[in-house]
Amino acid sequence: MLYSVTILLLLVHVVLGYINPVAVKGKHFYDSVTGELFMVKGVDYQPGGASGVSVDKDPLSEIEECTRDILLFQELGINTIRVYSVNPDLNHDKCMSLLAAAGIYLILDVNSPLPNQSINRYEPWSSYNHDYLYHIFKVVDQFSHYNNTLAFFAGNEVVNDKVSATHSSNYMKAVVRDLKTYITHHSERPIPVGYSAADDLSFRIPLAKYLECSNSTAELDSVDFYGVNSYQWCGYQNMQTSGYDQLVANYEDYTKPIMFSEYGCNEVTPRIFQEVEAIYSSKMSSVFNGGLAYEFAQEPNNYGMVEYLSDGRVKLLKDFETFKNQLAKASENYQVKQMNEKVRSTPLRCQDTYENLGNKLVVPQSLGMAFITQGVKCEKGSFVQLSDDDFVVKREIFLPDGTKFQKNKIVPTHNLNGPDTHQTVPEKSQGSKNGKYLQILNVETFPSSSRLTLNRTVSVKNYSLTTL
């Protein structure tokens, strides 16, 4: 009898839905196999803040903490988390596998606060170097093999004032180009690359237009999507008083997906997350593709939904329940205007200048060609087999009133690998033989013309390179 029960438990995992990659078509995200519209419902997740990543750990390497928090992600009802920094030298297989089994996707920033792993906004030429590129390519190499890696952010609020706008805008375009070029050569599938913009209208809108444009047919220097950090809806407001109506108008003609990469004003506490209803309503869903609430873990800035206690224990805060309830009420009957609109066949051409971005917008030549040609030495991530015990949470969780949270096990909802069959996708899509890599044209395929011919010698010191 015990043997039969074990077999039955194993079979339960087989009939679950597949975790399919997400792709871009036009202004929206889609499930790349089923063709269903994908709206981002998530949280920003960086326990420990800047100190949450080190040579020894990061948010996706500590399995007991990861298991605990995934259970809470499920309780919230989210489908995506954003992680701001990781160490690609650590192993993330089990955490990414658990996230995938729970139906949760990852949007990952490629930069980190560790030395030589981010762009200096005021002197980008000093930090855009081989060390930096080696790091961001390692991040791509490790995470591109997980189906639930939704996208990469090339930068977060790098441009946030007049000086950084003048000096760093073109370097952000270079980083986007390098990441997308590396992905075309070393990833089994296309993965969207975007940018997360600071909450400043003076730079957010012109930078969006600059990062959208391209003078190349392959559009390798154009973002695949654009993230907006916005904290303008505070307390009880509406589309007009919050300025969300103007936010929609500002991006109505944008040709790439727009999303909130951070939202959740805390000037009025406790937060009521009233904006959630608007974000997923017909008033916004034709332009915005959902968003990520800031943030999951409580830090000194007081935006958290949970508080980490000693010994790995966690206490849920009032914001947790409020955000959960608002998400539960959010509409899933998204009304997307011009869903079948024709995707632009040619990119928007770049202007000579953009307001508030300075006059020196020449994109620097790539310093990463040797890495793009030969790859970087990195342990590539992959899904792993999960036992029943892997889904069990071994840390205590408490409700806001101090009583114990009763659930202690992640509920698997998805298989980790896709089917080997063709399925329906949106018009103009293009598929591959393996269903889990069925892709939708925009970031969706890489025509042979977009692959660079790399036949020149590049001198690089002290790097381990590996060929495919």
Per-residue pLDDT tens over the stretch 389-400: 999 999 999 999
Beta carbons within 10 angstroms of residue 83's beta carbon:
21
Residue 455 or 39, more confident: 39
pLDDT at 196 over 70: yes
Span 248-257, pLDDT tens digits: 999 999 999 9
Span 357-416, pLDDT tens digits: 988 899 999 999 999 999 999 999 999 999 999 999 999 999 999 999 999 999 999 988
Q: Which residues contact 387 (CB under 8 A, 6 or more apart)?
A: none
* Active-site annotation, residues: 157, 262
Mean pLDDT computed over 143-151: 98
Question: What CA–CA distance (Å, rounded) separates 184 from 84?
Answer: 23
Q: What is the DSSP letter of 351?
A: P
- So what's the pLDDT on residue 166? 95
Provide the residue ranges of all domains of the chain, joining segments of one domain with +. 22-398
pLDDT at 78 over 80: yes
Residue 243 or 331, more confident: 243
- So what's the pLDDT on residue 358? 87
pLDDT at 90 over 70: yes
- So what's the pLDDT on residue 177? 98
- So what's the pLDDT on residue 277? 97
- So what's the pLDDT on residue 419? 55
Q: Which residues contact 327 (CB under 8 A, 6 or more apart)?
A: 41, 76, 77, 78, 276
Contacts 24+ apart (CB under 8 A), 244-251: 244/275, 244/278, 244/283, 244/284, 245/283, 248/283, 248/284, 248/287, 248/288, 250/205, 251/208, 251/226, 251/287, 251/288
- So what's the pLDDT on residue 331? 78
pLDDT at 340 over 60: no
Contacts 24+ apart (CB under 8 A), 240-247: 242/275, 242/278, 244/275, 244/278, 244/283, 244/284, 245/283
Mean pLDDT computed over 2-17: 45
pLDDT at 88 over 50: yes
139 closest CA partner among 117, 116, 165: 117
Confidence of residue 342 (pLDDT cuts 50, 70, 90): low
Residue 331 or 192, more confident: 192
- So what's the pLDDT on residue 75? 98
pTM higher than the cut 0.75:
yes
- Identity at 173, one-letter amino acid code: K
Q: What percent of the chain has pLDDT over 90?
A: 78
Question: 462 in the Ramachandran plot: left (φ > 0), alpha (ψ -120 to 50) or beta?
Answer: left
Surface-to-core class of residue 88, CB atoms within 10 Å of its CB (0-12 exposed, 13-18 middle, 19+ buried): buried
pLDDT at 435 over 60: no
pLDDT at 185 over 70: yes
Question: What CA–CA distance (Å, rounded) separates 19 from 142?
Answer: 18
Question: What is the per-residue DSSP string for 5-17?
Answer: HHHHHHHHHHTSE
pLDDT at 40 over 90: yes
Tokens of 74: 């499920």
Residue 144 or 419, more confident: 144
Where are the extended beta strands (E) located within 329-405? Answer: 397-398
| Range from 84-88, 147-151, 302-306, 444-448 carrying the lowest mean pLDDT | 444-448
Confidence of residue 332 (pLDDT cuts 50, 70, 90): confident
| Range from 93-107, 239-253, 341-355 carrying the lowest mean pLDDT | 341-355
Question: What CA–CA distance (Å, rounded) separates 323 from 327?
Answer: 6
Q: Which residues contact 6 (CB under 8 A, 6 or more apart)?
A: none
- So what's the pLDDT on residue 341? 54
CA distances from 265 to 113, 151, 234, 281 (A): 25, 25, 5, 19
Residue 72 or 334, more confident: 72
State the chain's mean pLDDT as an integer.
86
Question: What CA–CA distance (Å, rounded) separates 56 from 234?
Answer: 38
- Which one of 3.40.50.620, 1.20.1440.120, 1.10.238.10, 3.20.20.80 gives the CATH number of domain 22-398? 3.20.20.80
Question: What CA–CA distance (Å, rounded) separates 459 from 452?
Answer: 18
pLDDT at 327 over 90: yes
